[in-house]
């Protein structure tokens, strides 16, 4: 006879799950803009406010997300959930982070399908973008203090920043930073007697062509969306913004699901809704296949991340005990900070367009550094200023 007493959830785990759901629903509902902004809010809530992780451990998890396929911010949420409450924590954190954006994107897609256009959002982004940039700069300051402590990490950071600004691939920068970290922080200090164990990540196998044709159920639009975005999510590296160049030709030309302008509008939805930018696929799925299509596309693009983190989670403790792996991750951490700086430079070019946006950036930095306000207050302020601009100017 099977006994289930041991399988019951312990009170401590229930409490952790409730905390994870509350925290990531809040982050998912209030984090706007680029994935870097989402990561910034996670660092504030997880490291500084609740102290669930140290700054160094947070960076190690962030570095790991850059080395495997999937949206970085979502995978970081999954890693944090796993560390707090195991596989149930992984599911709770990931679903809570994604849910607000799914709801918001589905609602905007309904409006778009009904009226053929989106409400004007330029005024809101005019005020919101410089404040999001302030959140990113504040995060850079905190993460830099956590990982740039030796001349080796500063050297790796400088080389990674130069490579990023020169247009070197994000993946090459990170693997190069990791290799330099191993050489400078482990190999030169502790020559190995045996070949060093290096981290190897295997991306998910791509789906075979069988899944693009065949039986009747595969012809369902929802199934087509799920399989297409499942394959896309399995080869998506780095920022979620990389998603759009990957899918543009297929969505517009190959499948004819949307026009170029409709895809641009979908990208705008990814920026104007809270949570991961990858949620723009929810808009695409709804436009192509209604609510079932929205659900299928969303599950498809995020499922590889859930599988990868679930597989990696048990290995993270072993990685932490390996001096060689530790050196690799320290190097990658420095590379991550450099990449965030290059992204911040790009954000600044788009966000700081006149003296008023410059003043908003300065006010945001003062609020974060001097008044110690949490980032979502800045997001709320950006929306209020943007709405006031629409109504009164």
Q: pLDDT tier at 238 (50, 70, 90 boundaries)? A: low
Question: Which tokens sit at 188?
Answer: 């030169």
pLDDT tens, 46-60? 998 888 988 888 887
Model pLDDT, residue 277: 66
What is the DSSP track for 251-298?
Answer: IIIIS--S-HHHHHHHHHHHHHSSS-GGGHHHHHHHHHHHHHHHHHHH
Helical H segments across 148-220, by residue range: 151-165, 170-182
Model pLDDT, residue 94: 92
**Most confident residue range from 100-109, 121-130, 230-239, 241-250:** 100-109
Give me the sign of the Cα torsion angle 329, 330, 334, 337: positive
Judge whether 283 and 277 are in contact, CB under 8 Å.
no
Model pLDDT, residue 219: 58
Judge whether 281 and 316 are in contact, CB under 8 Å.
no
Closest residue by Cα to residue 124 from 283, 261, 273, 284: 273
pLDDT tens, 77-97? 999 999 888 889 999 999 999
More confident residue, 25 or 124: 25
Model pLDDT, residue 98: 92
**CA distances (Å), origin 383, targets 18, 42, 392:** 29, 20, 14
Closest residue by Cα to residue 141 from 337, 332, 333, 334: 337
pLDDT tens, 260-281? 777 777 776 776 677 776 778 8
Residue 200, pLDDT > 60, answer: no
Helices 170-182, 323-351: axis angle to 10 degrees equals 150
pLDDT tens, 132-186? 788 778 878 877 887 888 899 999 999 989 988 887 877 688 788 888 988 888 8
In this prediction, what percent of the chain has a pLDDT beyond 90? 16
Instruction: Map residue 213 onto helix, strand or coil.
Output: coil
Model pLDDT, residue 155: 94
pLDDT tens, 216-233? 444 578 888 998 898 888
Mean pLDDT of 297-325: 78
Instruction: Map residue 111 onto helix, strand or coil.
Output: helix
pLDDT tens, 89-120? 999 999 999 999 899 889 888 887 777 665 56
């Amino acid at each position: 006879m099977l006994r289930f007493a041991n399988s019951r959830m312990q009170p401590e785990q229930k409490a952790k799950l409730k905390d994870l759901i509350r925290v990531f629903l809040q982050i998912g509902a209030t984090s706007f803009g680029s994935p870097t902004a989402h990561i910034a809010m996670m660092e504030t809530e997880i490291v500084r406010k609740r102290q669930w992780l140290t700054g160094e451990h947070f960076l190690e998890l962030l570095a790991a997300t850059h080395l495997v396929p999937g949206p970085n911010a979502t995978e970081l949420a999954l890693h944090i959930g796993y560390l707090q409450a195991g596989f149930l924590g992984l599911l709770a954190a990931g679903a809570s982070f994604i849910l607000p954006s799914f709801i918001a994107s589905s609602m905007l897609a309904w409006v778009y399908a009904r009226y053929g256009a989106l409400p004007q959002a330029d005024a809101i982004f005019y005020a919101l973008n410089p404040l999001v940039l302030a959140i990113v700069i504040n995060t850079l300051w905190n993460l830099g203090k956590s990982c740039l402590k030796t001349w080796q990490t500063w050297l790796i950071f400088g080389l990674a920043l130069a490579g990023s600004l020169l247009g070197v691939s994000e993946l090459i920068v990170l693997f190069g930073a990791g290799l330099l970290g191993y050489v400078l922080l482990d190999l030169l200090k502790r020559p190995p007697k045996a070949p060093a164990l290096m981290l190897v990540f295997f991306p998910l196998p791509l789906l075979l062509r069988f899944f693009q044709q065949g039986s009747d159920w595969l012809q369902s639009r929802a199934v087509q969306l799920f399989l297409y975005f499942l394959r896309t999510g399995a080869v998506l590296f780095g920022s979620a913004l990389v998603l759009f160049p990957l899918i543009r030709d297929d969505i517009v030309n190959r499948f004819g699901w949307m026009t170029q302008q409709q895809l641009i509008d979908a990208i705008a939805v990814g920026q104007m809704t809270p949570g991961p930018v990858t949620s723009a696929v929810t808009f695409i799925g709804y436009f192509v296949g209604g609510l079932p299509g929205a659900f299928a596309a969303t599950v498809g693009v995020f499922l590889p991340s859930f599988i990868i983190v679930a597989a990696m989670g048990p290995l993270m403790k072993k990685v932490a005990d390996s001096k060689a792996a530790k050196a690799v991750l320290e190097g990658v951490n420095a590379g991550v900070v450099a990449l965030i700086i290059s992204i911040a430079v790009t954000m600044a070019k788009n966000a700081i367009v006149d003296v008023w946006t410059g003043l908003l950036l300065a006010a945001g930095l003062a609020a974060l550094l001097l008044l110690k306000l949490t980032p979502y207050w800045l997001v709320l302020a950006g929306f209020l200023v943007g709405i006031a601009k629409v109504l009164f100017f």
